[in-house]
């Protein structure tokens, strides 16, 4: 028998041989740089600091304390083991009732009890990743399009299009108005898509926004709802950062807008994606949630959830934790307070060396404006700057191009995935780089005389900045309201 290794393209599917997984994007190159040279304060103090990973590591002490004082919440402690069998056997795709109840209640608390969630509309998925894909499978056919405002989370490309064969069509937003979504922008994208013979099935909005770190105001949300209702297309709201809002304006959920407009709108077109990866910091637990106001979507998505249910061991733990109302209240307050403090630390430090960020009040990152550091206002220049930041400054940040930003020079920088000491080191490196870059011969001549400072002045102010960073108190100032 002749054994010939066939050309892989004939042996595997088109999906398998395509680039639809998106991992060839620059977004991942930074991670690879980090992976090969990761910062460690003791073992590798000159390594790359990871600021490209949007993780919430600031409040694990609170969770761990709770876990330690609630051993019965775990199946695998002596206190919880007697439930082991029933939970290990349970594979019903409705999920444990207590889990759905707890998640629904948590989502209400995060929204300050201004919205009500029905536990029977809670559908599980393999993380928000799985939820986005499942929803897309339910709402759109191959070849259909979903509008998505730029800049947007790069993973959307894989999650919404790879196996579903649906496409994403951008709604271009730019810095001229703080990247806000406008009715005109959405409409323009809608008609452009149609002109390209694409059937638009929905609009995906991310609130709070990744990578912008801003929340959508009531007016914008209402406009998005109105637009989708007018055009009879779906509105998908990714609210996975809903409990990371650390400053006013507060978070307004589409659920609140829905409740206010129930008599005037078709609920069958509105869906929410949620997860515990960002708010609680549990990306490993794969707790994705799909919440739809459309009965058929709930039913169908629930059948599909068999492809990515939440482990019952985890459902059980989460159910216990999130139904502890006093813990939840304390956690939400303290977590947002710490996020706010960390965000302030970063923005203040950057501002002192003239780096602005989009004024954000949510998320685990800032949207940094480095346009002035570009050699030219092009994406090539952005890429060049990015490589300098990774290779020389030794920080992994994420270039705006990987978020499909329409303007070069913006970078997302994460601040909640490290301890304070590392943050100080990172900020110091960035500030040092910016200062030296400003003072480089190419840049000096471009500035006005009054802007030029002596080297001594620069090094003094820089040292002061470093001291300030090191002295930033752990516990901070502002009480954050929900």
User: Of 77-106, which residues contact other proteins (CB under 8 A)?
Assistant: 77-78, 80-82, 84-94
Active site residues: 153, 238, 240, 278
Separation CA 445–CA 442 (nearest Å) = 7
DSSP state of 353: T
The answer to whether residue 148 forms part of the interface with other proteins (CB under 8 A) is no
Closest C-alpha to 271, from 360, 183, 368, 202: 202
Q: Which of 32, 40, 116, 141 binds other proteins (CB under 8 A)?
A: 141
Supply the Cα-derived Rg of the chain in whole angstroms: 24
Interface characters, 202-231, with other proteins (x: CB under 8 A): ------------------------------
Among 29, 133, 157, 279, binds other proteins (CB under 8 A): 133
DSSP-based three-state secondary structure for 404 = coil
State yes or no: residue 450 binds other proteins (CB under 8 A). no
Count of residues near other proteins by CB under 8 A:
95
Residues 184-203 that bind other proteins (CB under 8 A): 201
**Options 133-141, 167-175, 241-249, 463-471: segment touching other proteins (CB under 8 A):** 133-141
The residue among 69 and 248 lying less far from other proteins, judged by its C-beta, is 69
CA angle centred on 417, ends 239 and 358, rounded to 5°: 60
Q: Looking at residues 272 to 331 of the shown chain, list those that interact with other proteins (rule: CB under 8 A).
A: 277, 281-286, 294-300, 302-304, 306-314, 317
Paired tokens of 50:
């990871």
Q: How far is the CB of 273 from other proteins (least distance, A)?
A: 14
Examine residue 15 and tell whether it contacts other proteins (CB under 8 A): yes
Of the pair 58, 186, the CB lying nearest other proteins is at 58
The CB-of-262 to other proteins minimum distance in angstroms stands at: 15
Q: Is the Cβ of residue 13 or residue 475 nearer to other proteins in the bound state?
A: 13
**Contacting other proteins within 31-60 (CB under 8 A):** 55, 57, 60
Phi then psi for residue 38, to 5 deg, are: -75, 140
Task: Kindly tell me which of 121 and 429 has the beta carbon lying closer to other proteins.
Answer: 121
Q: 126 to each of 12, 88, 361, how far by Cα in Å?
A: 24, 18, 28
Tell me the angle at which helices 325-352 and 60-68 cross, rounded to the nearest 10 degrees: 160
Q: Does 139 bind other proteins (CB under 8 A)?
A: yes
Burial 268-288 (b: 16+ CB within 10 A, else e): ebbbbbbbbbbbbbbbebbbb
Burial class (CB within 10 angstroms; exposed 0-12, middle 13-18, buried 19+) of 397: buried
243 interacts with other proteins by CB under 8 A = no
Kind of pairing between the strands at 49-50 and 167-171: unpaired
Nearer to other proteins, 139 or 431 (CB): 139
Cis amide bond preceding 329, omega within 30: no
Minimum distance from residue 361 beta carbon to other proteins (Å): 24
CA distance 282 to 59: 11
């Amino acid at each position: 028998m002749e054994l010939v290794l066939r050309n892989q393209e004939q042996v595997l599917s088109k999906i398998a041989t395509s680039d639809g997984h998106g991992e060839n994007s620059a977004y991942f190159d930074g991670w690879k740089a980090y992976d090969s040279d990761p910062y460690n304060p003791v073992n590798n103090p000159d390594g790359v600091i990871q600021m490209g990973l949007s993780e919430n590591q600031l409040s694990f002490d609170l969770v761990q304390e709770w876990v330690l004082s609630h051993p019965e919440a775990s199946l695998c402690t002596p206190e919880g083991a007697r439930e082991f069998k029933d939970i290990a056997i349970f594979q019903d795709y409705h999920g444990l009732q207590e889990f759905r109840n707890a998640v629904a209640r948590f989502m209400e608390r995060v929204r300050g009890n201004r919205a009500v969630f029905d536990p029977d509309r809670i559908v599980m998925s393999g993380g928000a990743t799985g939820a986005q894909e499942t929803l897309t499978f339910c709402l759109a056919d191959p070849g259909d399009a979903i509008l998505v405002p730029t800049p947007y989370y790069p993973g959307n490309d894989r999650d919404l299009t790879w196996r579903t064969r649906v496409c994403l069509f951008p709604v271009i937003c730019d810095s001229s108005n703080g990247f806000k979504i406008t009715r005109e922008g959405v409409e323009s994208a809608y008609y452009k898509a149609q002109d390209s013979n694409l059937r638009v099935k929905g609009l995906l909005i991310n609130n709070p926004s990744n990578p912008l770190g801003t929340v959508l105001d009531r007016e914008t949300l209402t406009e998005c709802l109105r637009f989708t209702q007018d055009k009879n297309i779906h509105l998908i709201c990714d609210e996975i950062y809903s409990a990371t809002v650390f400053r006013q304006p507060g978070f307004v959920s589409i659920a609140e807008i829905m409740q206010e407009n129930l008599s005037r709108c078709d609920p069958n077109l509105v869906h929410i994606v949620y997860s515990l990866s960002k708010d609680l910091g549990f990306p490993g637990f794969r707790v994705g949630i799909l919440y739809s106001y459309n009965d058929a979507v709930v039913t169908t998505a629930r059948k599909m959830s068999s492809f990515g249910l939440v482990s019952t061991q985890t459902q059980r733990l989460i159910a216990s934790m999130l139904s502890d109302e006093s813990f939840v209240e304390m956690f939400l307050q303290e977590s947002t307070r710490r996020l706010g403090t960390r965000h302030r630390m970063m923005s203040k430090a950057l501002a002192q060396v003239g780096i602005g960020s989009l004024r954000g009040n949510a998320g685990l990152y800032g949207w940094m404006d480095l346009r002035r550091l570009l050699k030219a206002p092009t994406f090539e220049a952005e890429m060049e700057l990015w490589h300098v930041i990774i290779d020389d400054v030794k920080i992994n940040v994420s270039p705006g191009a990987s978020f499909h930003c329409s303007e070069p020079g913006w970078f997302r920088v994460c601040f909640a995935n490290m301890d304070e000491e590392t943050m100080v080191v990172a900020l110091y490196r960035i500030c040092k780089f910016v200062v030296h870059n400003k003072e480089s011969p190419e840049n000096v001549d471009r500035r006005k005389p009054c802007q030029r400072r002596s080297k001594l002045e620069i090094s003094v102010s820089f040292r002061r900045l470093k001291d300030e960073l090191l002295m930033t108190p752990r516990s901070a100032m502002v009480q954050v309201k929900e």
